[in-house]
Structure 1
Amino acid sequence: MFDIQEIRSQFSILDREVNGKPLVYLDNAATSQKPNSVLDVCHAYYTELNANVHRGIHTLSQLATEEMELSRRKIQKFINAEHDFEVIFTKGTTEGLNLISYILTQKLQKDDEIIISYLEHHSNIVPWQLLCERTGAKLRVIPIDENGILQLDYFDKFLSEKTKVVSVNQVSNALGIVNPIEEIIARTRKNTDAYVVIDGAQSAPHFNIDVQKMDCDFFVFSGHKMYAPMGTGILYGKREILEALPPFHGGGEMIATCSFDGTTYAGLPFKYEAGTPNVGGNIALGAAVDFMNRVGHENIQKHENALLEYAQRHLLEIEGLKVYGEKAHRTGVVSFNLEGIGISSDVGMILDKMGIAVRTGHHCTQPIMEFFNIAGTVRASFAVYNTFEEIDLLVEGVKKAQRMLS
């Protein structure tokens, strides 16, 4: 049984007021709020278990290690990875993408090609540009149409024996558009032996993820967008690929042997987990997975899709309001502007005075904004704890902003 009030009761922050108004938190694509069960796990780690992992023989170290490795196994099941050691703890999506682009350096050479799309976050653009600078490879970009939908005819034209990497997001953070990654992966496999990288930062909080069925080589996501603490994330990589590629960072934990004559590297996953990890955060990421499993992926998707449909329908009743990607398949996000109001942050500031938190600006997707010839948008993004009543408050707030700014 899906009980929205019971779910909301698990998020203490939703009881607070902002500017004298009840908080309406609609900035979940930037970061989600954390349920008490996750916060309790963080507190318990630092008050009951605080110790470094893997290297200690004392009780606290062993208990902390057990809890972090249990979390790894929960995440393995969450994304249906074949092995738990294919799950690498990171600081988030950005670090995961930088890690992949760095370790692939030796696999590319001058005039090889990397394919990304117009819908990418800067974190799935800049690391590949840096890889191109290191290797002389070239970047190809799948264009979008006026609805923000990827033009896969161009993707087919780009694919060739020169293609070494295809990296796209599953869901656009700026527009909420769901990309046809199954089709993209299938076309890539049919025509090339390129590595396939999927940015799951905006899909892991909303979808049931199955990396084996997806058949991607790498999948990355952040914990803080799916009810876990900031500074947590996951890189999934296929065993045979990770074993064949070099490490990212050097230091403690990632070595098998170390001497001044040379160093050998630890096996997976530790080869890619140099240094002291965010132990408490990593354990709490497992608790966030537990929370999502209790609510149920189907319930999460159904509720969030209903919120999106309701929000878009009522926002579009406002004269002069444009929703970007309106006709595309989307999830979790409605991104819009008001005609004649050129600065989205003005709308956001008025909404904030009403206790409504949205995100404004370019959302780290400047190419998308340039395509639509705008400086930014107002973005409302949803999580499982949001309500239809909050959408009503958003709509009334946007109407008030329109009256004030026109």
Structure 2
Amino acid sequence: MSHQQQFIAQYQSLIEEFAQTQQVPFYAYDIDGLAAHICELVNDDIKLWFAVKANPLSSVIQTLAQQGMQFDVASSGELTQVLAQGVNPSHILNTGPAKSRAQIQHFLTNGVNIFVAESVNQLALINELAKENDVRVSVLLRVQLRFEQSSDNPLGGNELTPFGLGAAEWQAIELSDYGNIDVIGLHIFQWGNMLEAQQLISLWQAMISPLKALADTLGFELKVLDLGGGLGVPYDGDERTLSWPALKAALVAIKRTAGVEELWLELGRFAVAEFGYYVNRVVDIKHNYQQDLAVMQGGINHLLRPAITNQPFPVTLLRSSSAQQKPFHIHGPLCTSLDKLGTLALPSDLAVDDYLIFSQCGAYGFTESMPFFLCHELPAEVVISNGKVSVIRPALPASSYLY
């Protein structure tokens, strides 16, 4: 039995009771499971950063901070949220392809001292503002490399993207022109949601030689190598998962081969995905053109990922049923055929007012969605810990955001 199945079985009655009381879709997070998982990941060999874009919920950030994670923050809004949870600015790394003058200043004002530079212009702007603020900052240059690898990937793979520059483009700079910056390392992150360990390890290994060569050409000591993230989780019900001990052993070897003081990873879905659930109510069932459809109270306004990846989240009927399963086309409430959460197997006795629980929703859930279209309510977000449900954000009507 998977962790998700165990969690649903353990808390089924609690989740059903909350769903029946609230009558709105909601996200539920297994905080105890999350804490135990992060405790297993954090170690002295690899520095782990949490990519806040995956889930900026206050309780998630607090739990990860308590377990020793650092934070990869890509916007002023994410920074404000992370600082509000008591995170020390020294544990924050500023990433992201679009760093405006105002954003960089906001990070410097709040004590953040580590930046990833994605372009020559960005490097110059970081240096200029560091000088104006009379501080020295540490910078990693983000690099794009090309590999013999398919580019059908959420982060672009070999495609031209706004993330970083090629080695040849970085070689054109003179580090002596940036007097308030210490370039301490290189950052590379081009592949997302990878599930084949050997493929991921091979990509990491192939990065070492060109990155070391770039550092040598620019004339700085490569102290830090940031391999980004990309560690995937399965969404198709397959039980295969990446083995963290095996990956860690490979990373330790890569760290040794690269000769760096620190090796960094920025984890998103691998850190939090399996500890989040989306609970959604069936509002209509119909049979049309020999196919079965379930229309839900919430759709891509709460859970967008299926529409942009064509990959649904795993789903389970919240109540018990012994009925034979059959495929249902699961649609949301929006007036567009794009609002589809997938075609998935469910018990044939699925009925109006039943609840479905989608798993693997701890990452890229509500904050990746399109919540304002058609002015439906925003979903609630709750955490479950020690057998209790705590509402972090209640469901909110459209009047809460329309002016």
The structure whose residues are more often strand, as a share, is 2
**Higher RCO by CA contacts (8 Å cutoff, separation 6 or greater):** 1
Q: Could you tell me the TM-score, scaled by structure 2's length? A: 0.31
TM-score for the superposition, normalised by structure 1: 0.31
